[in-house]
């Protein structure tokens, strides 16, 4: 984890430090076990092909977890991820790098909380945004210290 970011450090348009992922079939099996999601399209290639898929595909919830990491890295130990919204628009397959990215879209103080809103997305190695979403974090403030 890097050093703590404060509310005053970010402005609208600020780009979050990206999180790079290189998912493998092994990771899909580990995620199936750790999350209890044993839908076969994530580890059984024949089953996936029979379901008209290009092969095994990433769990939507795994991509959701990647974007969760983007946000908890951004919030740091002093911040708090308050809301996370993720839509699975496109499929992602193992063996291809993906990047989690985000940008600050708004900031405000509400009921004493220093709130930052972000657009977030997951981008495949062709530059396509397969998984868009949004997030709200509460950051610490230098003025409140």
Q: Which residues bind other proteins (CB under 8 A)?
A: 1, 21, 27, 30-31, 33-37, 51, 59-62, 64-66, 68-69, 71-73, 77-78, 80-88, 133
Which of 50, 51, 48 minimizes the C-alpha distance to 25?
A: 48
**Residue 114, token pair as written in the block:** 């220093």
Q: Furthest-apart CA pair in the chain: how many Å? A: 58
**What is the smallest separation between the CB atom of 88 and other proteins, expressed in angstroms?**
5
**What is the smallest separation between the CB atom of 71 and other proteins, expressed in angstroms?**
7
Whichever of 8 and 78 has its CB closer to other proteins, that residue is 78
**What is the smallest separation between the CB atom of 124 and other proteins, expressed in angstroms?**
17
Whichever of 45 and 81 has its CB closer to other proteins, that residue is 81
**What is the smallest separation between the CB atom of 15 and other proteins, expressed in angstroms?**
20
Whichever of 27 and 107 has its CB closer to other proteins, that residue is 27
**What is the smallest separation between the CB atom of 143 and other proteins, expressed in angstroms?**
18
3-state class of 108 per DSSP? strand
d(CA 60, CA 142): 37
d(CA 31, CA 34): 5
As a whole number of Å, the end-to-end CA separation of the chain is 21
Q: Which residues pair with 100 in a beta bridge?
A: 19, 122
Whichever of 14 and 32 has its CB closer to other proteins, that residue is 32
Whichever of 81 and 93 has its CB closer to other proteins, that residue is 81
Measured in whole angstroms, the distance separating CA 51 from the mean position of its chain's CA atoms is 26
């Amino acid at each position: 984890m890097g050093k703590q970011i404060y509310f005053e450090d970010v402005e609208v348009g600020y780009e979050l430090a990206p999180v790079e992922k290189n998912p493998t079939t092994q990771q899909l099996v580990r995620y199936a076990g750790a999350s209890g999601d044993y839908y076969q399209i994530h580890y059984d290639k024949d089953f996936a092909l029979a379901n008209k898929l290009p092969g095994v595909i990433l769990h939507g919830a795994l991509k959701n977890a990647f974007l969760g990491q983007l946000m908890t890295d951004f919030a740091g130990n002093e911040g708090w991820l308050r809301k996370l919204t993720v839509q699975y628009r496109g499929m992602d397959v193992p063996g291809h790098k993906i990047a989690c990215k985000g940008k600050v879209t708004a900031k405000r103080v509400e009921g004493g909380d220093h709130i930052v809103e972000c657009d977030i997305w997951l981008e495949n190695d062709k530059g396509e945004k397969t998984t868009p979403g949004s997030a709200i974090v509460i950051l610490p403030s230098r003025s409140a210290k």
